[in-house]
Structure 1
């Protein structure tokens, strides 16, 4: 993986994790935690959205949007597990 791709992945993950933490109140994981949540959210979105027939488009903005939606799903699932 080229260094540019890795930097973009980290930036998208950080932004998506932070946005998801803002949307789902009560979740703040710090910079590294937000990056991890954003990257896992991107993986969830990459797996789930095509199966649902959802296509957001291409580019960095759509990558941030889909990663944020995936991260929100992840944080929602984490909150369900914490309640149980």
Structure 2
């Protein structure tokens, strides 16, 4: 459980930095990171790619969190 929270924190923070924003706040960034991890896991599973270590999990989660942040920004007309 702690590893999931840590991965969510890191990936949410990275997604905010990748998209040149301040993020939505610490708790929202963690939530986006956790949900992004699930989304990233599903996307990469369809592609046949699986994370076998901590770095791979962070990269997959960051990709999912970035996609989720882009989707929320599009829905909120921020882009």
Q: Which runs of 5+ in 1 are unaligned?
A: 1-5
* Match of residue 21, structure 2, among 26, 32, 47: 26
Measured on the aligned residues, the alpha-carbon RMSD in Å equals: 1.6
Q: Which runs of 5+ in 2 are unaligned?
A: none
* Match of residue 67, structure 1, among 61, 65, 73: 61
* Match of residue 39, structure 1, among 34, 39, 46: 34
Q: How far apart in 1 are the matches of 2:69 and 2:49?
A: 22
TM-score, scaled to structure 2: 0.87
In the alignment of these two chains, the number of paired residues is 78
- Quick check: which has more Rg, 1 or 2? 1
